[in-house]
Structure 1
Amino acid sequence: MSTPAVPDEPIDLQIADVLHAVSFPANKDEIVDIARDAGASNELLAILDGLPEQDYADVDAVTRLIGSNYGPGVSV
């Protein structure tokens, strides 16, 4: 799924749009690839690339880690 407006959105909306396009369960590399294909910003790609190498069962599993690593300014 391509989302051309993704790079122009605030980071929390980028995260929500990208994760909505992921078929879970998914591993970190699949999530990063989908974000890259959607045209996500370098900031979002760096955040996702910083996730631990593991399988994620659902959106909540990813957003919990993003929120705990990047604080309350980044939430979905």
Structure 2
Amino acid sequence: METRKKVLGPEHPDMLTTMANLALTYRNKGRWDEAEELVVQVMETCKRVLGPEHPDTLISMNNLSFTWKSYGKGGQGSQVNR
């Protein structure tokens, strides 16, 4: 992932997809903290680069919400709009 980030840059849409996929892998493996950290990073970058209403931003918000739900942090949803 680090090589891809160097080549594409940390805000490139393909890089954000790679990060989101890695976060999903972490979540599926029960590595909740790593998944949450990565999903938050993706969401914040999407909001900044693409805007808050872009479909990819909304998907990243959903991914964070689903991560929290899977982790048992269902009440955290209000933090999505940080």
TM range (shorter): 0.3 to 0.5
TM-score (norm 2): 0.33
> Relative CO higher for 1 or 2, CA cutoff 8 Å, sep ≥ 6?
1
TM-score (norm 1): 0.35
* Structure with the higher fraction of residues in helix conformation: 2
* Structure with the higher fraction of residues in strand conformation: 1
